[in-house]
Amino acid sequence: MQMITVLGATGSIGVSTLDVVARHPDKYAVFALTAHTQIDKLAEQCEQFSPKFAVVGNAALANQLQTKLRVRGSRTEVIYGVDALCQVSSDAAVDTVMAAIVGAAGLVPTLAAVHAGKKILLANKEALVMAGGLFMQAVADSGSVLLPIDSEHNAIFQCLPADYGRSPGIGMNSGVEKLLLSASGGPFRGMSLEQMHAVTPDQACAHPNWSMGRKISVDSASLMNKGLELIEACWLFAVPEQSIDVVVHPQSIIHSLVQYSDGSVLAQLGNPDMRTPIAHALAWPQRIESGVANLDLFDVARLDFEKPDMQAFPCLGIAREAAQAGANAATILNAANEIAVQAFLDQRIGFTQIASVVAQTLNSQVINEPESLEAVQESDNQARLYSSAYIKSLEK
Ligand code: NDP
Ligand code: MG
């Protein structure tokens, strides 16, 4: 029996994770479920999965949830705050942690799980983007098993040699020539920059193939998501940014590919449903049923590929430059993007201004190698302050 903590249980990934877990009560049990504010949804999940702990954002919410749970006869104990998130991520009873909090808020609890040597199912790409060097060092030091949930990275993981990362043949020494990162192109594929000036948050969140939280949906629309994924792939697979090509593939059936030096290209295909990578990582190296319908290639009929439009989607180029710059550039990129995306969702800036906020913030900050978690957090904080002030100046 694998004991699981789901960080971000009430989100899109959290709900898909619990859907897979519920299909295999003989294999998985839930130790803790966490949310930020959605306590009604968390109460329902607690009733279904009877975790030992439920974690929420603050004391008032914890009291409300505890009362709701008592009324329902649940014995789940409610705790709150970042320390509580770290506690349920590192408890000795836990085998596996699904890291599915959105944004930088996921870093500290995910690192707690890494330090405790847990098996980490990583959905929270922002944690790796903002602190890649420290994160991967912590994984190496603790012997924690890190499995990618992001569909592209999970696909690449499946297409790499089984001993990749555990043998000296890592990165370009393994016969791997290129990683080909799939991108759907998002809801605005084919549009020009001008045509995107007036798009609304709801239009940006209406992804053609995937149903996801609002932050990653906006990132997918701007292609910043692909930029974050490029940086994520550099860290996960120890390859330089130049070895990763982005391939726009509107059907989202091929989730990514690995090109080898002998001319072989391996791809992972499936219906676009996050329960596939979640089930893959939960059971790895075994396979379990995920609830995802079998792929019907006759139904799919055709697969299209195109190059990304770097003019219409400047975020992808900005992220590539940040990957090249290394040091704390990705920390700054991620922080500025989180602030800009929230400002766009709050209708304080236009969609195309997201790229300007990120570029401007990157230009304004000192690029240096963060030697500690505190240095990463300081960089993140400075970038947030700068981008927030810059957005205020745009509003005037
Ligand atoms: P959602 O917005 O749907 O869910 C986010 C979860 O995190 C919720 O449980 C939310 O709680 C919780 N949360 C939000 N802010 C905080 C905070 N400050 N402290 C603690 N918990 C918090 O996001 P997704 O599920 O879509 O995405 C989660 C992560 O997975 C992201 O990093 C995303 O990039 C990544 N990912 C998602 C994919 C998808 O298909 N959705 C695909 C690939 C990667 P509450 O509900 O109470 O607000
Ligand atoms: Mg992805």
Per cent of the chain over pLDDT 70 is 98
Closest listed residue to residue 127, CA positions, set 136, 117, 118: 136
Q: Give the per-residue pLDDT at 170.
A: 66
Residue 132 near ligand 1, beta carbon < 6 Å: no
Q: Coil, strand, or helix at residue 52?
A: coil
Contact 282, 20 (CB under 8 A): yes
Note the pLDDT tens digit of each residue in 199-232: 999 999 998 888 899 999 999 999 999 999 999 9
Half-sphere exposure of 117 (CA within 13 A, CB side): 5
Q: Coil, strand, or helix at residue 110?
A: helix
The residue-averaged pLDDT of 299-324 equals: 98
Q: Coil, strand, or helix at residue 267?
A: strand
How many angstroms separate the CA atoms of 214 and 211, rounded? Answer: 9
Q: Mean pLDDT across the chain, nearest whole number?
A: 96
The residue-averaged pLDDT of 253-275 equals: 97
Residue 147 near ligand 1, beta carbon < 6 Å: no
How many angstroms separate the CA atoms of 211 and 355, rounded? Answer: 23
Contact 20, 291 (CB under 8 A): yes
Note the pLDDT tens digit of each residue in 171-184: 667 889 999 999 99
Q: Please give the CATH topology (third level) of the domain spanning 326-396.
A: Rna Polymerase Sigma Factor; Chain: A (1.10.1740)
pLDDT band at 163 (very low <50, low <70, confident <90, very high): confident
Contact 3, 31 (CB under 8 A): yes
Hey, which of 151, 216, 223, 228 would you mutate to test ligand 1's pocket, going by the most ligand atoms within 8 Å of its Cβ? 216
Please state the length of the chain.
396
Block residue for tokens 């903002």: 130
Ligand that comes closest to the CA of residue 84: 1
**DSSP assignment letter at 257:** E
CATH superfamily of the domain spanning 2-149: NAD(P)-binding Rossmann-like Domain (3.40.50.720)
Evaluate if residue 149 carries a pLDDT over 70: yes
Evaluate if residue 28 carries a pLDDT over 90: yes
Evaluate if residue 292 carries a pLDDT over 70: yes
List the residue whose alpha carbon is closest to atom 16 of ligand 1. 36
Evaluate if residue 166 carries a pLDDT over 80: no
Per cent of the chain over pLDDT 90 is 95
Backbone dihedral angles phi then psi of residue 110, each to the nearest 5 degrees: -70, -40
How many angstroms separate the CA atoms of 370 and 376, rounded? Answer: 6
Task: Give me 94's structure tokens.
Answer: 């836990």
Task: Give me 307's structure tokens.
Answer: 């190059």
List the residue whose alpha carbon is closest to atom 27 of ligand 1. 102
Task: Give the start-end residues of each E strand in 223-299.
Answer: 244-248, 254-260, 265-269
Q: How many Å lie between the centroid of ligand 2 and the Cα of residue 367?
A: 27
Q: Give the per-residue pLDDT at 173.
A: 72
Q: Write down the domain spans for the chain.
A: 2-149, 151-270+298-311, 326-396
Task: Give me 282's structure tokens.
Answer: 């939960």
pLDDT band at 329 (very low <50, low <70, confident <90, very high): very high
Note the pLDDT tens digit of each residue in 239-258: 999 999 999 999 999 999 99
Evaluate if residue 355 carries a pLDDT over 90: yes
Evaluate if residue 164 carries a pLDDT over 90: no
The residue-averaged pLDDT of 320-342 equals: 98
Counting from 1 in the atom list of ligand 1, the atom nearest the Cα of 126 is 32
Backbone dihedral angles phi then psi of residue 21, each to the nearest 5 degrees: -55, -45
